[in-house]
């Protein structure tokens, strides 16, 4: 076996062995349960959550990184999964999804200092469900991740 073949084989084995990459979430609820159980991973893309995000959302995040000058914060300066910079989601409640072909919408409620409700849009991609967008429609400044990243969908 040539050295290049061996290295490629080892790299593929590492990706396949990684539980985040090896998992295709068969239901929207399974994806969100895994997302909220997730701690951190090695730098695998434009976000620590990249394995859970759709290709489109990861492309938006990467474009934001590419277009942000060094030393400045990009469009997202908080953790969109917990709707804040600090804390964690406790008392998690994942709602029932509304399925529309290869898309799903559902809400997630939890406590992070206060009651938070996030609205998720998911897409079926690569044999499983992925996060396409996250929105918070409460408070003084409602937001959606894709809108903050400049997506005009």
Q: Which two tokens stand for residue 136?
A: 């918070």
The parts of the chain modelled with pLDDT lower than 70 are 1-22, 40-44, 152-153
Q: What integer pLDDT is reported at residue 23 of this predicted model?
A: 74
The SS3 assignment for 100 reads strand
Q: Which two tokens stand for residue 5?
A: 């073949």
Distance CA 23, CA 94 (A): 19
Which segments within the chain are labelled E, that is strand? Answer: 90-94, 98-100, 103-111, 115-125, 128-136, 143-144
Question: Torsion angle, CA of 91/148/48/68, rounded to 10 degrees?
Answer: -150
The SS3 assignment for 22 reads helix
Output b/e per residue, 36-55; b: 16+ Cβ within 10 A.
Answer: beeeebeeeebbbbbbbbbe
**Residue 84 carries which DSSP code?**
B
Domain ranges of the chain: 24-148
Q: What integer pLDDT is reported at residue 41 of this predicted model?
A: 59
Q: What integer pLDDT is reported at residue 39 of this predicted model?
A: 76
Q: What integer pLDDT is reported at residue 76 of this predicted model?
A: 92
Distance CA 87, CA 36 (A): 12
Give the Cα-Cα-Cα angle 103, 109, 47 (nearest 5 degrees): 65
100 beta partners: 103
pLDDT digits (tens, 9 = 90+) for 46-82: 899 999 999 999 999 999 999 999 988 889 999 999 9
Q: What integer pLDDT is reported at residue 86 of this predicted model?
A: 87
Q: What integer pLDDT is reported at residue 140 of this predicted model?
A: 87
Q: What integer pLDDT is reported at residue 38 of this predicted model?
A: 87
Q: What integer pLDDT is reported at residue 36 of this predicted model?
A: 95
Domain 24-148 has CATH 3.10.450.50: yes
């Amino acid at each position: 076996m040539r050295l290049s073949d061996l290295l490629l084989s080892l790299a593929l084995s590492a990706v396949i062995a990684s539980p985040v990459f090896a998992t295709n979430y068969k239901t929207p609820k399974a994806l969100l349960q895994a997302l909220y159980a997730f701690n951190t991973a090695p730098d695998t893309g434009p976000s620590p959550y990249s394995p859970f995000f759709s290709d489109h959302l990861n492309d938006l995040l990467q474009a934001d990184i590419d277009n942000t000058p060094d030393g400045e914060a990009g469009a997202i300066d908080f953790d969109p999964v917990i709707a804040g910079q600090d804390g964690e989601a406790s008392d998690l409640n994942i709602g029932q999804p509304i399925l529309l072909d290869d898309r799903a919408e559902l809400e997630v409620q939890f406590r992070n200092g206060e009651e938070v409700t996030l609205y998720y849009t998911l897409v079926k991609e690569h044999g499983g469900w992925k996060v396409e967008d996250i929105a918070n429609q409460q408070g003084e400044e409602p937001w959606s991740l894709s809108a903050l990243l400049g997506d005009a969908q």
